[in-house]
Amino acid sequence: MKKITLLLSALILTACATGTNNSSSSQIGQIAFKKAVNAKCSAELDTYDVWRVGTKLMTKSQQKAVEKEVCSCVTQKAPYNAANAVVNSNSYNAMVANAVAGTINSCLIQSFK
């Protein structure tokens, strides 16, 4: 979690220091959010029963491929679940956690079909 916070802080500070227009800043924020969601997804995947059961007989490379597919799905869908959140250091982490929790099960089920 500290790594995610440090990464996000660095990205936000970089965005502030560049003096870019709102469009570029918005894109940087979206990229930072997606990276945080992807990292959170990868970190929490093992806590889901669907993941543990579904990958029990898979090789490590197969697990990595499915993890990439699931977390990519979560990363794409999560911003829609978090569209109304206000971004500050406390609510940002909660927003990322809620976005991941709200989409990871559906993406797991989709990947195991």
Structural domain count of the chain: 1
Residue 57: CB atoms within 10 A of its CB come to: 7
Domain containing residue 49: 34-111
**Tokens matching residue 23:** 């469009």
On the CB side of 84, how many CA atoms lie within 13 Å of its CA? 1
43-100 pLDDT, tens digit each? 999 999 999 999 999 999 999 999 999 999 999 888 776 654 555 566 777 777 877 8
Give residue 8's pLDDT band: very low, low, confident or very high (50, 70, 90): very low
Q: Taking CA 62 as the corner, what is the angle to CA 57 and CA 66, rounded to the nearest 5 degrees?
A: 105
Q: Is the pLDDT of residue 21 over 60?
A: no
- Put residue 87 in one of left, alpha, beta given phi > 0 → left and psi -120 to 50 → alpha: beta
Does some domain include residue 29?
no
Does some domain include residue 19?
no
